Amino acid sequence: MASLQDRMNAAVQSKQREQLDDERTVQRAERFAATRTSAPGWHPDPALLGREQAHQWLLPWMFGALFIIGVLTAARGWQQVEHAAVSASWPYTRGIIVSSEVESYSSSEGVRWRPVMTYLYRVGKREVLGTRVSLVGPLSGFDEADARAFAERYRLHGDVLVYYNPERVTESVLDQSAPRSAYLTINLGLALATAAAACLMVTMRSNKRTSRTRTPAPQSN
């Protein structure tokens, strides 16, 4: 019975020594970490800091690029509107459609379709042959049916109003208005630029707050 009691006491003492050793190990690790942190020459892991800093500045660059894309997109749409407005003050005369066809052409985006029209108009005693529909650019679309529907608006031998440049009567158009896509481009560009600018400001403020919290307080001698 005495030997059993001795074994139990020995087991308890062994368990206590193990717990004491674990506590000492933890204490040594904490003292070591505190020493490394407070040491003047201690620095965190450069790899971890590099990845974190790259992540912090990646978002501002991305939002900045989106802002520039939005501004350029809106400017492109506005340029189309301005080009269409040039013909708003042009005088007009009566003309007749000579031909109204649809043709296909290859592009980097695949096969596209566009209406091709020729019309004849008279300015004074001079007869002029025109081919331009709008100052914005050649009309085109992916759908052949849409191109044919547009060409159908100008039927063969139908009468049309032709707007011409009084300073150069050979320059003329049939449509003075800007396409709907121009206004859509402006709206999309402005929306993208506004959203990107807001996200950029929020990200920059967040980075500044993070930098302030990580700046070590000056140590008094």
Q: Are 77 and 96 found together in one domain?
A: no
Residue 103 inside a domain? The answer is: yes
Mean pLDDT value across residues 180-198? 86
Q: Are 147 and 96 found together in one domain?
A: yes
pLDDT digit string (tens) for 66-97?
889 989 988 888 887 887 777 888 999 999 99
Q: Are 169 and 192 found together in one domain?
A: no
Residue 2 inside a domain? The answer is: no
Number of domains in the chain: 2
Q: Are 83 and 186 found together in one domain?
A: yes
Helix (H) / strand (E) element for 210: namely helix 180-214
Residue 41 inside a domain? The answer is: no
- Whether residue 152 has pLDDT greater than 70: yes
pLDDT digit string (tens) for 36-63?
545 455 454 554 445 555 556 677 788 8
Q: Are 83 and 192 found together in one domain?
A: yes
Residue 218 inside a domain? The answer is: no
51-80: burial string, b at 16+ Cβ within 10 Å, e else: eeeeeeeebbeebbebbeebbebbeebbeb
Q: Are 96 and 196 found together in one domain?
A: no
**CA distance linking residue 120 with residue 169, whole number of Å:** 12
What is the band of 138 on the pLDDT scale with cuts at 50, 70, 90?
low
Q: Are 78 and 138 found together in one domain?
A: no
pTM for the structure as a whole? 0.52
Residue 141: strand, helix, or coil: strand
Q: Are 83 and 184 found together in one domain?
A: yes
Q: Are 166 and 98 found together in one domain?
A: yes
CATH number of the domain residue 125 falls in: 2.40.50
Q: Are 156 and 192 found together in one domain?
A: no
Q: Which domain holds residue 84?
A: 55-88+177-203
Q: Are 140 and 195 found together in one domain?
A: no
Residue 29 inside a domain? The answer is: no
The arrangement of strands across the sheet holding 92-107 comes to 126-130, 110-123, 92-107, 159-165, 168-173
Q: Are 168 and 181 found together in one domain?
A: no
How big is the CA angle at 132 (ends 87 and 159), to the nearest 5 degrees?
A: 90
Question: What percentage of the chain reaches a pLDDT higher than 70?
Answer: 64
112 has which bridge partners?
Answer: 105
Residue 44 inside a domain? The answer is: no
What is the pLDDT, as a whole number, of residue 51?
54
What is the pLDDT, as a whole number, of residue 93?
94
Residue 9 inside a domain? The answer is: no
